[in-house]
Each structure stands twice: as C-alpha cells, then as structure tokens.
Amino acid sequence: MKKPLTLADIQKFENMEFLAKQLVEGFITGLHQSPYHGFSVEFSEHRLYNNGDSTRHIDWKVFARTDKLFVKRYEEETNLRCHMLLDVSPSMYYPTENNGKLTFSALCAAALATLLRKQRDAVGLVTFSDKIEMQTPVRSTGSHLHTLLLLLQKQLEQKPAANDTNVAEVVHQIAQQIPKRSLVVIFSDMLSRQDDLESTFAALQHLKHQNHEVLIFHVMDRKTEEEFDFAERPYVFVDVETGQELKLQPSQVREHYRIAVESYKRELELKCGQYRIDFVPVDISEPFDKVLYAYLVKRGKVR
C-alpha cells in the first residue's frame, strides 16, 4: 500500500505538479476500491473491458493497481467554472516549521485543479490576504493548469506579507467579477478579527444571492490551534499577524482558549448552515483525500 503524502513530502519534492498528479491518481484508484465508487462518474466513468472493445481506451494505470481491465468513457464537457480562493495571510504560514496550513491548502488546491482538468472543467486561482494578491483567468486548458500549479509552488517559496486577513473584501470583489453561476472554493483558517465575522458572511451572502455555490475548507492545526496541546512549560506566544507577544504557561489559559475556539467554530458552522454554504473543517494532519471527497459531493450540486 502506498504511503500517504505528508507536508514533509511536499517540502522535500518541491514539485507541486508531480505531487498533485500522484494524489489525484491515488484518489481515483481509491474510489474504484471503496463504497464511493459511484462518485467516479463525476470525472470519468470506468467500466470493465469487454471482448471486442477497443484497447485504445483501456486505463493501464488502473490495471497496474487493480489487475483488472477498465475502459475509460469520458462525459461530454460540462460548463462548470471553479474559482479557488487561497488565503495567504501570515496566519496560514503556521506552524512556521513547515508553513503547515498554507502547504496543506496549496496541495489541496493543486489536486482540485488537477481533478477539475480531468473533468474538463475550468478553474482559476486567487490568493489573498487583506486584498487580492494574485489572480489568474478561469480556463480549462492543460497549459493553464501547468501555470496554476507553478504559481502554487512559487507561493510556498514566498515569505508571508505583513498583512491581516480580510475575507469579506476579497469575496465582495470576486462576487462582482463572476459573470455566470460558478463554484467558489475557499481555503482559509477564517482568522479575521471577531468583529469581521458579520461582514464576512455578508460578502458570502453576496455570492449566494448571485446563485453561486460556495465551499469553505476551514484549515486548522487541530492539535495546537483548537486543543491548545502544548507541553507544560513557559512560552512566548506571538501573534503572526500583529506581532503581539504574550508570555504564559499553557495551563493558564487552555480551558478558556478551547471554549473560545469551539464557540467561534460553532458560530461559523451555524452561519454557513443558515446561508446554505458547505463548511468543511480540515486538520492539516489528516489525509488530503477528505478535501477531494468533499469537493465531489459539492460538485454534484452544481448541475
């Protein structure tokens, strides 16, 4: 059995295109070997090879993994347009030893872009902090996918900008730019200031009013950011966006911290439910496949 990709693998290989392809191919193979097989028709339908079928359409990669002959039957081109919004604010570079949340999100975005290309759907990428940092066109060509994956790789090599997060402003701008019904996928830790939450959801409602589907991947390092699981010793905690420092021992604030984070997450999930926005909490220590499964479920609604 192939070892799952880790954040260390991404940093080691420094080849987003290769890793995304490996991740998607493994995911597709897993669909054929799991109860989720039905989802496979969303990108290409594989049926067992029958005598007399042309060998031209045999999927040899699937054969190598399953020892069974499958024939690929691609659907006609859909007109799905996907806008991927990647939060690149300083908080996404946590944990700093591996730029954890950003690294995880970038590979997930790369894998989704690769999967969209397999589905012959169009995809564009937006990176943002307190404003749009970079934006690509929305296209479905192989050359566009190559460019997009290079941009994601380059993002991992950049230092974080000294900016806050402003999801609301960016989402409003994107909502004004999208001319037809689309799927908007957001990768973010949603760590804006508490008083920004209402404006964030007003912006997301802007997208919903225009009949767009919205999928939010709430990216966190669950062990430290939610459970506050640190060894019991003195620390200096530094706010990566403001630089503010706080000296304390974890036990002094752990209980209150957990309650506050859980309350914030509940509010996010509740408001997403009210606005019919798909909200998927993801932990950077979890397998990347969870994001791809959530995407396929969502894609089934954009028809």
User: 116-174: per-residue pLDDT in tens?
Assistant: 988 888 999 999 988 899 999 999 999 999 999 999 999 988 888 767 778 888 999 99
| Same domain for 70 and 146 | no
Say whether pLDDT at 223 is over 80.
yes
Q: 3-class SS at 238? A: strand
Say whether pLDDT at 220 is over 90.
yes
Mean of pLDDT values over 274-293: 89
Domain that holds residue 280: 7-29+79-301
Say whether pLDDT at 75 is over 50.
no
For tokens 């990347």, name the residue. Answer: 288
Q: Hey, what are 296's tokens?
A: 């396929």
Say whether pLDDT at 46 is over 80.
no
| Same domain for 192 and 132 | yes
Mean pLDDT of the chain: 83
In a domain, 287, yes or no: yes
| Same domain for 247 and 151 | yes
| Same domain for 297 and 234 | yes
| Same domain for 239 and 144 | yes
In a domain, 132, yes or no: yes
Ranges of beta strands (E only) in 23-73 are 45-48, 70-73
Q: How high is the pLDDT of residue 1?
A: 39
Say whether pLDDT at 181 is over 80.
yes
Q: Which stretch of 68-77, 158-167, 257-266 has the lowest confidence by average pLDDT?
A: 68-77
Query: What confidence tier does 62 reach under pLDDT thresholds 50, 70, 90?
Result: confident
| Same domain for 236 and 267 | yes
| Same domain for 148 and 55 | no
146-to-26, 125, 143, 171, 295 alpha-carbon distances in Å: 20, 12, 5, 25, 21
- Strands 183-188 and 213-220, sheet pairing: parallel
| Same domain for 92 and 57 | no
In a domain, 59, yes or no: yes
Q: How high is the pLDDT of residue 113?
A: 95
| Same domain for 192 and 296 | yes
In a domain, 1, yes or no: no
194-to-67, 200, 222, 265 alpha-carbon distances in Å: 53, 10, 19, 12
Q: How high is the pLDDT of residue 108?
A: 93
Please give the model's pTM, rounded to 2 decimal places. 0.80
| Same domain for 58 and 180 | no
| Same domain for 278 and 152 | yes
Query: What confidence tier does 294 reach under pLDDT thresholds 50, 70, 90?
Result: confident
For tokens 């090599």, name the residue. Answer: 157
Q: How high is the pLDDT of residue 143?
A: 93
| Same domain for 166 and 53 | no
Mean of pLDDT values over 240-264: 90
Query: What confidence tier does 28 reach under pLDDT thresholds 50, 70, 90?
Result: confident
In a domain, 37, yes or no: no
Say whether pLDDT at 303 is over 80.
no
Tally of domains within the chain? 2
Mean of pLDDT values over 222-232: 93
> Which tens digit of pLDDT belongs to each residue from 85-114?
999 999 999 998 888 999 999 999 999 999
In a domain, 54, yes or no: yes
Q: How far is 158 from 160, CA to CA, in rounded Å?
A: 6
Of 21, 52, 75, the residue that ends a domain is 75
Say whether pLDDT at 43 is over 50.
no
> Above pLDDT 70, what percent of the chain?
83
CATH no. for residue 271? 3.40.50.410
Say if residue 25 is exposed, middle or buried (CB neighbours under 10 Å; 0-12, 13-18, 19+).
middle
Q: How high is the pLDDT of residue 64?
A: 82
Mean of pLDDT values over 232-252: 87
Say whether pLDDT at 9 is over 70.
no
In a domain, 38, yes or no: no
In a domain, 36, yes or no: no
Query: What confidence tier does 8 reach under pLDDT thresholds 50, 70, 90?
Result: low
